Amino acid sequence: MRIDKYISGCGYASRSEVKDLVKRGIVVADGRVCKKCDEQVREDSVVEVDGKTLIYRKYVYLMLNKPKGYVSAVSDKRYPPVTDFVPAEYKHFDVYPVGRLDIDTEGLLILTNDGQFAHSVMSPGKNVKKRYFACVDLPMAEEDIETFAAGMEFKEFTARPALLEITDNPHEVYIEIAEGKFHQVKRMCARCGKSVTYLKRVSVGGVKLDEKLAPGEMRELSKEEVETLVNY
Ligand code: URA
């Protein structure tokens, strides 16, 4: 691959910025100074910029604590997209959200540029559980747990058996679903006669929302977190 692609792939500089670095003679690939941006290197080449060794990667995996008011998309005509939160050093990776949270839903949203990973996490066959904390207008009761556990028929899909955990406060519950259909949690609660007043996703598969992240903050998933989802 070209050296400018390699360096931008490391998140070090944009491809146009690499031009300047090369001009300054501070880019060294496998021991020789690069003279041009289109010089070829391998993925396992050792590349240094100004004495700093870079690590090339093609894919990135980010965790966002999504705040309300943002759409799970890369662009939108009416509302700001969640990609507004992508830090500058990750912009060139062109990440997009893995699945969707409603505009008024908060919490864990994963963004990546790895299409296969995104597809696999969202694939119905993989059955990756998504866990939510929800507040509802009316108290949830034991019979609602059974309604969730039985699964639910909707016009365009059948929701698999889902877990409803009622906390000490019957207006506050945890819900675990296998799919991730449009407004699924809200529709399942509505089936029990309750309206969701607050919704936050707290985990996807084995990956929990990092509570250290303030709304709107992002961090990279650790290697272990990515593997948890890949091997789910
Ligand atoms: N279910 C919903 O109703 N909304 C979300 O944002 C996610 C799951």
Banded pLDDT at 232 (limits 50, 70, 90): confident
**Which pLDDT score, from 0 to 100, does residue 43 have?**
86
Which residues on adjacent β-strands are paired with residue 2? 40
User: Quick one: tokens of 102?
Assistant: 């409603």
How many C-beta neighbours within 10 Å does residue 172 have? 16
Is 11 a residue whose pLDDT tops 80? no
Q: Which of 102, 137, 144, 168 is catalytic?
A: 102
Q: What is the pTM for the complete model shown?
A: 0.87
For the stretch 118-132, pLDDT in tens is: 999 998 888 999 999
The span from the CA of 113 to the CA of 62, in Å, is 10
By most ligand atoms within 8 Å of CB, the mutation choice from 164, 184, 203, 204 for ligand 1 is 184
Q: What is the pLDDT of residues 82-114, one digit of tens each?
A: 999 998 878 878 999 999 999 999 999 999 999
Interval between CA 196 and ligand 1 midpoint (Å): 10
Helices (H), 89-134: 115-122
Is 102 an active-site residue? yes
Residues 6+ apart with CB under 8 A from 189: 134, 136, 175, 195, 196
Ligand 1 centroid to Cα of residue 186, in Å, is 6
pLDDT band of 215, cuts 50, 70, 90? very high
Pocket, ligand 1, Cβ cutoff 6 A = 101-102, 105, 183-186, 199
How many whole angstroms from 155 Cα to the centroid of ligand 1? 17
